[in-house]
């Protein structure tokens, strides 16, 4: 059993900050990467940020310079620090534990999602 629990979502004003957390528990033998995805209302789910097992990171163009993904390997936890938030950042943010496949794929396990709403 593998479970991902997300937290940290909420309502903030434009220009504000939030930090999302995702803690993974259970049995898994490897982690290719951990990532955050976002699904805005009426839109598809898109990759926001990813951190590989080797520590490399990558971001969607829309969040570069504003968001930072980080990890605590000892706790199997990944974070997403979101600064300078914009209304278009609004959506449900999902944590993805990638146990196989490409770091840009969606293989592995998923959290339940946490709502982020940015008001103008």
The tens digit of pLDDT for each residue in 35-78 reads 999 999 999 999 999 999 889 999 999 999 999 999 998 888 99
79-111, pLDDT tens digit by residue? 999 999 999 999 999 999 998 888 888 788 999
Measured CA to CA, the distance from residue 63 to residue 46 in angstroms comes to 12
Q: How many residues does the chain have?
A: 120
Where do we find the tokens 């955050």? 36
Helix (H, G, I), strand (E, B) or coil at 100: coil
| 8 A C-beta contact, residue 35 and residue 49 | yes
């Amino acid at each position: 059993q593998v479970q991902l629990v997300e937290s940290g979502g909420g309502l903030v004003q434009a220009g504000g900050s939030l930090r999302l957390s995702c803690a993974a528990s259970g049995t898994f033998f490897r982690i290719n990467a951990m990532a955050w995805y976002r699904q805005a209302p009426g839109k598809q789910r898109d990759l926001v940020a990813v951190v590989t097992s080797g520590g490399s990171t990558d971001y969607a163009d829309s969040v570069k310079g504003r968001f930072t993904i980080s990890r605590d390997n000892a706790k199997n936890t990944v974070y997403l620090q979101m600064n300078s938030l914009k209304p278009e950042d609004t959506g449900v943010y999902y944590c993805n534990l990638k146990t196989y496949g490409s770091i840009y794929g969606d293989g592995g396990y998923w959290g339940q999602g946490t709502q982020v709403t940015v008001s103008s």
